[in-house]
Amino acid sequence: MTESIELTPGRRGSVVVDGVAVAWERWPRPGAPCAVLVHGTTAHTAWWHHTVSRLADGYDVVAVDLSGHGDSGRRAGYDLDTWSREVLGVVDAVVGGPAVLVGHSIGGLVTAGAAAARPDAVRAMVLVDCVVTEPRKAGKPSAGRGGTVFRTVEEALGRFRLTPPQPVPDVRVLTYVAERSVRPVRGGWAWKADPAIFGALDTDRMTAPLADVRCPTAVVRGELSQLVPADAAAVLADLLGRPVAQYDVPNAYHHVMIDQGAPFGRLLRRALDELLAPVSAEQQKE
């Protein structure tokens, strides 16, 4: 039997960081620890909507649209450091205190940069199917990638694809995300993601911030991930010099919130609870 899905939008707002409006979405729970969710390349806050219902009863949840994505503004160029500052800007302006950062794919490296730069703002970090070793250079994206104008919204939605490709058991989730990935432009419809964002991936030191992270850290990966190896936590533990818990989402590929949203949400909730338990115990001692 197909599991029911809950796709839950939150309250929206924005904060200006380095001259650009950075959009955020919030599912408030006063007094609860805050989890800030950071998407991957070309994604946006709606990618988390299938996951939020598994977190919002115990966490104050905030999702961020990095610049060049979703409903945030665009820049002349992009880099991981700027995106990390945007996440910290949302933490400072919206949360008002330290938060747990949850980053999917490239969003994990963005959260690592934030945690390394501002330990005071980050209680803990969860890397969701995020590469922890330097990826092989993929080369520059093909000309026009992400910049195509489609005549109709139906044509645009019909061209929506996950990268890397993978099965999606429930097409309703994929359709929901696709519908929130397009915007009207002169002559038709285009993707919300700015094609220039791929320039941020053109670096040989994408994973460098991981070595400077000092907060408690966990890894959540898709059991069938095409990008993240089965020993990701062990690799990261060697890098950080301390244990790193790993949680594998059964039957999930790289885009865990799309193909296994409910199981992923439950496993992420468990990871957050277990990650914060030692932190809370230490605070009580103080």
pLDDT band at 189 (very low <50, low <70, confident <90, very high): very high
Residue 273 has pLDDT above 60, yes or no: yes
Residue 4 has pLDDT above 70, yes or no: no
- Is-cis flag, bond preceding 164, omega within 30? yes
Residue 119, burial from CB neighbour count under 10 angstroms (0-12, 13-18, 19+) = middle
- Confidence at residue 141, expressed as pLDDT on a 0 to 100 scale: 42
pLDDT band at 272 (very low <50, low <70, confident <90, very high): very high
Q: Which residue is associated with the tokens 């097409």?
A: 171
Extract the runs of DSSP E, i.e. beta strands, from 120-207.
Answer: 122-128, 182-185, 188-191
Residue 140 has pLDDT above 80, yes or no: no
pLDDT band at 233 (very low <50, low <70, confident <90, very high): very high
- Confidence at residue 142, expressed as pLDDT on a 0 to 100 scale: 37
DSSP character string of 78-138: --HHHHHHHHHHHIIIII-S-EEEEEETHHHHHHHHHHHH-GGGEEEEEEES---SPPPP-
- Confidence at residue 138, expressed as pLDDT on a 0 to 100 scale: 44
pLDDT digits (tens, 9 = 90+) for 25-40: 999 999 999 999 999 9
Residue 246 has pLDDT above 90, yes or no: yes
Rounded distance between C-alpha atoms, residue 123 and residue 279, angstroms: 8
- Structural domains of the chain sorted by starting position, each given as residue range(s) with its CATH number in brackets: 11-133+205-285 (3.40.50.1820)
- Confidence at residue 231, expressed as pLDDT on a 0 to 100 scale: 94
- Confidence at residue 1, expressed as pLDDT on a 0 to 100 scale: 36
- Confidence at residue 128, expressed as pLDDT on a 0 to 100 scale: 98
- Confidence at residue 8, expressed as pLDDT on a 0 to 100 scale: 80
DSSP β-ladder status, 60-64 and 20-27: antiparallel
Residue 24 has pLDDT above 90, yes or no: yes
- Confidence at residue 150, expressed as pLDDT on a 0 to 100 scale: 97
- Confidence at residue 139, expressed as pLDDT on a 0 to 100 scale: 42
Residue 149 has pLDDT above 90, yes or no: yes
Q: Of 54, 36, 125, which Cα lies nearest the Cα of 267? A: 54
Average pLDDT on 82-95 reads 98
Q: Are 125 and 101 in contact (CB under 8 A)?
A: yes
